[in-house]
Structure 1
Amino acid sequence: MLDTTAREMWELFEPVHDLVYFAPEARQAADGLGMRGYWMGYFALRAAPLGPVAPCVVTSSFSVFHPARVARALPDAWKYAAPADVLAAREEAMDAAMTRLFGAERTRSARFAEAADLAWEAAAAADTTGRVLAAANQALERPARATARLWQAVTTLREHRGDGHVAVLVSVGIGPLEAMVLKAAAGESDGPFLRETRRWEPADWTAAEDTLRERGFLAADGSLTRAGVAGRARVEQWTDRAAERPWRALGAERTGRLAGLLEPLARAVGESGLLPAGNPVGLPPAGAHAAVTAAGARESG
């Protein structure tokens, strides 16, 4: 039977990571650093672990953005704040966001600290060979505060999974735009939202659709063909396999425990209204994968 642990854990930690994109504290932190607009803040906050790299490095590692979108933010962002200052600001912002959203009593509890420590152990076990974003995040010092420790750990795990996903896409010849078209065709995200926020032209999107039709992945009406469904399923399965190592290292029992501790946090983010319509990260509806969560709930009850 296919092991779905890596995917189920992603569905639990992704919403917590996503606070850096959508929590008002993140935007306030970026504005406080002098960043000009949402996208400069986005790229600075996410790319800061890499150091003051050129926009081409960020375009490559983030994968889905048009180079012009990145070039409007970097390297100009580093004129307003050094990466080290951005890292400090995002840690403060995530502490504030998590304390507000989850409550001070919860974030100061022993259970929250346990979740942070388990997630940190899993993240430390991630193999970052060929995974630039994961390696840069994994190399950061262990924060003393449980909020910052948990957020940084799930961010390392998230970038580890994302790096692996990009590697799989490259290996099967699916480019950034084709990947987004497939995601939209599968009903996981809104196509126009993805295209516009990543700053691709309609002609680029149409060309990607044509490429996928030539491969037999996309039907004339824009839906996935049987080959498209199968091809995308293989990509997702290989992505899951590439993300298994942290959970094998943590072990089934403690992974289940972490799942049970993360589930109410993921639910709180989902119910907060912070995540935008259009589902840019492609998260499934809450409860779509419950096996690990259920096991963790039994362990943590």
Structure 2
Amino acid sequence: MNTGGSDGAAFARRAWQALEPVHAVTYFAPECLAAHREVGLRGFWMGYFGARAAPLGPVPAAVVEAAFYNFHPAMVRRAVPDAWGFAAPEAVLRARAAGAAAALRRTAPSAAGAAAELLPLLARVVAAADGAGRPLFAANRDVPAPEDPVAALWQAATALREHRGDGHVAVLAAEGLDGCEAHVLFAAAEGVPPETLRDNRGWSEDDWRSAITRLTARGLLTPDARPTPAARTLRTHVESRTDTLAARPYTTALTPTESTRMLTLLTPVTAEILASGTLPFPNPMGLPARGQAVSS
């Protein structure tokens, strides 16, 4: 098996960059948005919160706030728990998988051919991952694999991206960064327009300014909201620690040869999705620029 360490963390990051576009069609592809509407969810954000939270069951808003972390609580509460009155989580799960499969078949024709070989590899990684402290991963891990292999590929990619995301939330919380502060710091360090993150996560301009004030007091931003060297060090630490926490399932489940094969199979799928124009750039997920596929 792989040895882990820095090599394992580097691989986990490449795996995330390859898997995230597969998962992310659920947020932007018209097939997915239509599936959410047709099952009864009303509007984009009820579709987003209802579909992403559906593996957790009909949970209250507080659970979604905690698990999703970086959304303004009021934004969550406009969609949950009302979503469960329009569509049961079990129905949403079926709809989101079918919509994602249709979106992948359109945006990434190679996905269908790659699924047969990819699925056993991804299934082993999912099975090797620990769900302790990772609610979104644990819930997605226990969603029965769809019979459609492309839908099953999407579900496996979703489980693994939520595994990484749960770990990322743990690191942010450990570093004392709340949801708004995490976005402010990311926008400043990466040069992302503030509105891309602020408006998509429900934070007001006042919320954003308050977060800047708090980060400035910690020495992470200059008074004009530029990142300090300490901020860049923290950002590097957060990303590195997130990658390290995400690495263990890959390093325990796959040999180096299998790891390489997994990325080789995913690379054309990812490239097709990124080239399709379905995903926006820049985006709140921090995906690489359009057309930049992950090298195997």
Whether these two folds match at TM > 0.5 is yes
The equivalent residue for 1:263 is 267
Deviation at 1:60, TM superposition (A): 0.7
Distance change in 2, residues 1:85/1:113 (3 Å)? same
Q: Per-residue CA shift, 1:63-89, capped at 9, x if unaligned?
A: 011111111111111111100000011
User: Which of residues 246, 249, 265 in structure 2 aligns to 1:246?
Assistant: 249
How do 1:203-218 and structure 2 match up within 5 A? 203-218=206-221
Deviation at 1:189, TM superposition (A): 3.5
What is the DSSP-based 3-state SS (H/G/I as helix, E as strand, rest coil) of the residue aligned with 2:220? coil
Deviation at 1:284, TM superposition (A): 2.8
The equivalent residue for 1:124 is 127
User: Which of residues 154, 158, 169 in structure 1 aligns to 2:157?
Assistant: 154
CA distance in 2, matches of 1:158, 1:277: 19
Deviation at 1:172, TM superposition (A): 1.2
Deviation at 1:276, TM superposition (A): 1.7
What is the DSSP-based 3-state SS (H/G/I as helix, E as strand, rest coil) of the residue aligned with 1:31? helix
Structure 2 gap segments, 5+ residues each: none
The equivalent residue for 1:171 is 174
The equivalent residue for 2:238 is 235
Q: Which runs of 4+ in 1 moved over 4 A?
A: 286-290
CA distance in 1, matches of 2:293, 2:211: 31
Distance change in 2, residues 1:62/1:188 (3 Å)? farther
Deviation at 1:159, TM superposition (A): 0.5
CA distance in 1, matches of 2:29, 2:123: 22
**In the alignment, structure 1 residue 34 sits paired with structure 2 residue 28:** no
Question: Structure 2 counterpart of 1:22, which letter?
Answer: F
The equivalent residue for 2:49 is 43
TM-score (normalised: structure 1): 0.92
CA distance in 2, matches of 1:289, 1:188: 21
**In the alignment, structure 1 residue 14 sits paired with structure 2 residue 28:** no
What is the DSSP-based 3-state SS (H/G/I as helix, E as strand, rest coil) of the residue aligned with 2:281? coil
CA distance in 2, matches of 1:67, 1:263: 36
Deviation at 1:132, TM superposition (A): 0.4
8 A Cα contact 2:271 2:293, kept in partner: no
CA distance in 2, matches of 1:102, 1:210: 44
User: Which of residues 108, 133, 151 in structure 2 aligns to 1:102?
Assistant: 108
CA distance in 2, matches of 1:181, 1:194: 8
The equivalent residue for 1:70 is 76
Distance change in 2, residues 1:262/1:40 (3 Å)? same
Distance change in 2, residues 1:275/1:107 (3 Å)? closer
TM-score (normalised: structure 2): 0.93
CA RMSD of aligned residues (A): 1.7
The equivalent residue for 1:276 is 280
CA distance in 1, matches of 2:191, 2:62: 28
CA distance in 1, matches of 2:112, 2:288: 30
Distance change in 2, residues 1:23/1:34 (3 Å)? same
8 A Cα contact 1:34 1:80, kept in partner: yes
Question: Structure 2 counterpart of 1:260, which letter?
Answer: T
What is the DSSP-based 3-state SS (H/G/I as helix, E as strand, rest coil) of the residue aligned with 2:283? coil
Question: Structure 2 counterpart of 1:14, which letter?
Answer: E
Q: Per-residue CA shift, 1:132-171, capped at 9, x if unaligned?
A: 0000000111222210111111101000000000001111
Deviation at 1:286, TM superposition (A): 6.4
Q: Per-residue CA shift, 1:223-248, capped at 9, x if unaligned?
A: 21111100111111110110011210
8 A Cα contact 2:270 2:293, kept in partner: no
What is the DSSP-based 3-state SS (H/G/I as helix, E as strand, rest coil) of the residue aligned with 1:18? helix
The equivalent residue for 2:60 is 54
CA distance in 1, matches of 2:153, 2:191: 27
CA distance in 2, matches of 1:288, 1:237: 21
CA distance in 2, matches of 1:235, 1:144: 37
Deviation at 1:101, TM superposition (A): 1.6
State, as a whole percentage, how many aligned pairs show the same letter.
46
Deviation at 1:107, TM superposition (A): 4.1
CA distance in 2, matches of 1:136, 1:64: 19
